[in-house]
Structure 1
Amino acid sequence: MNYAFAQEQNINQFPPWHLQGEGFILNYWLTPSFIQQAKAFRVAPSALGRVVQVLLIRYQSSPVGPYDELLILDHPLISKRRLSSIPKIYVSTHESVAHGQALWGIPKEYAEFEWEEHHQDTICRISHQGHQMSLSIRKTRSPRQFYINSHHIPASMLKIQQAWEGQRFDFSPQFRGYLSKVSQVEWHNTGDIFPDFSKAKYLQSFYIPKFNLIFPEAQISSK
């Protein structure tokens, strides 16, 4: 880490970061045509299609305080020999934007988040540069939960690589928590700020009522 640069950017919370919160893991199969239409969001090209995840998160505790987050976690096919990446992400505080870019090369952009809760339904409205989209998610009524721990997942699937301002950032987050199933997801008015995942194939998705996440220091090198 270039500490002079960090001081210039007002970066004062260094990794590892320990975060806690709740969130949703939304799984989608993307066809080649969908990926082509989403190329403005830097989703990696694929002739076969593949699975990606959309994460909608409310961090209740982090080194820079509570904040909200919407991101795409892109998982290119192993045959392409590419690591996972975060090509598009919005967060609700400028502190998170600055730290995410400088420490992990994550292309965070600022947006405003507004939440509504109605029994099993969660509605999130995200506003960015004068445009507002919304996402409605319905949890199942079943209380059944499944424990998940990053130690149970192959290490290759946890590795994330980001390219940012001429540098490459490599890191592997660790997490643990409990999952319950999501029964329905609806996207509205995504416009130019996010892909319209209502046109992708929805796969079983999950709600995480509480999780613990560790973001380690990234290995930084020149591209």
Structure 2
Amino acid sequence: MGTRNTDSTVFPKGKHFPAPWNLKGEGFLFPLWAKKDYNREMGFFSGEDSKQYTGGLGSLMLVNYETSDVGPYYELLYIPGNFTYKDESYKRITRIFVSSQKSVEEGILNWAIPKEKADFTWIREENLTKISAFRNGKEFFRVTIATKGFSFPVSTKILPYTLLQKATEGYLSTQFVGKGKGRIATIREIWSDEAVFPDALKGGIFKTGIHSDPFELIFPVADVID
């Protein structure tokens, strides 16, 4: 059972946590086959994003990092599909919230991931998980997910994701590596305030995905792409 996260971890002033990061916990991944018109309009794209966007496979992810280089935190993120840069295809996170301010700062610094701070509830009741996200005390996202069936191995080798995120100068490219045990997950109910986070159903997600518990994830040092 999870409660509203208040981000009480205290770090020495100015301390930096460089990549690579090692993270462990549980998470949900729901694949997306892009509805391009909706995502261009409501996916929190920059002008550059819109020009580079080609659609295709993306995902909605919800993660409970029980351990990380900056302590435990929750995460909600949206990848609306593929983006092309210099004839190469990449994934890109266009909207992401985490419950740790340090994760916000380090995510931007290490990988140019545009993290923002939010509070979360993450409540597990037998085979159901109920997750909500709040900003300034106002709920902007909630989902109820059912998990069922036998467990099976999962790995990023099956579905490799290479991110390309816009940095202050150029781009940062990151291919994270992960593995864990998965079960089938199904969305029972989902809602979002589209002024804050995309409506993932309108954006193209499938209601069936994977619940990985436990998983291990490595976020390596990013490559600089001119």
Give the TM-score normalised by structure 1: 0.82
Whether 1:95 and 2:98 are equivalent positions in the alignment is: no
Which amino acid counterpart does residue 218 of structure 1 have in structure 2?
A: A
Alignment of 1:1-223 (within 5 A): 10-42=14-46, 44=50, 49-76=55-82, 81-142=88-149, 144-153=150-159, 157-203=160-206, 204-221=208-225, 223=226
CA contact (8 A) 1:136 1:186 kept: yes
Return the alpha-carbon distance in structure 1 between the equivalents of residues 176 and 34 of structure 2. 24
Deviation sequence 1:73-116 (CA, Å, 0-9, x none): 34317797331111111010111011100011111101111122
Identity level (%): 25
Deviation sequence 1:52-77 (CA, Å, 0-9, x none): 20110000000100011001134317
- After superposition, the CA RMSD in angstroms is 2.6
Q: 1:137 to 1:19 in 2, by over 3 A?
A: same
Unaligned runs of 5+ in 2: 1-12
Return the alpha-carbon distance in structure 2 between the equivalents of residues 75 and 12 of structure 1. 31
Tell me by how many angstroms 1:186 deviates.
2.2
Q: 1:186 to 1:102 in 2, by over 3 A?
A: same
Unaligned runs of 5+ in 1: 1-8
Which amino acid counterpart does residue 19 of structure 1 have in structure 2?
A: L
Please identify which structure carries the higher helix content.
1
Counterpart secondary structure, 1:209: strand
Tell me by how many angstroms 1:38 deviates.
1.6
Comparing 10-19 with 92-101, which one deviates more in the overlay? 10-19
Counterpart secondary structure, 1:27: strand
Return the alpha-carbon distance in structure 2 between the equivalents of residues 47 and 109 of structure 1. 22
Q: 1:182 to 1:172 in 2, by over 3 A?
A: same
Which amino acid counterpart does residue 33 of structure 1 have in structure 2?
A: D
Partner residue in 2 for 1:6: none
Return the alpha-carbon distance in structure 1 between the equivalents of residues 82 and 22 of structure 2. 27
Q: 1:20 to 1:183 in 2, by over 3 A?
A: same
Q: 1:66 to 1:110 in 2, by over 3 A?
A: same
Give the TM-score normalised by structure 2: 0.81
Aligned length: 210
Return the alpha-carbon distance in structure 2 between the equivalents of residues 82 and 11 of structure 1. 34
Partner residue in 2 for 1:5: none
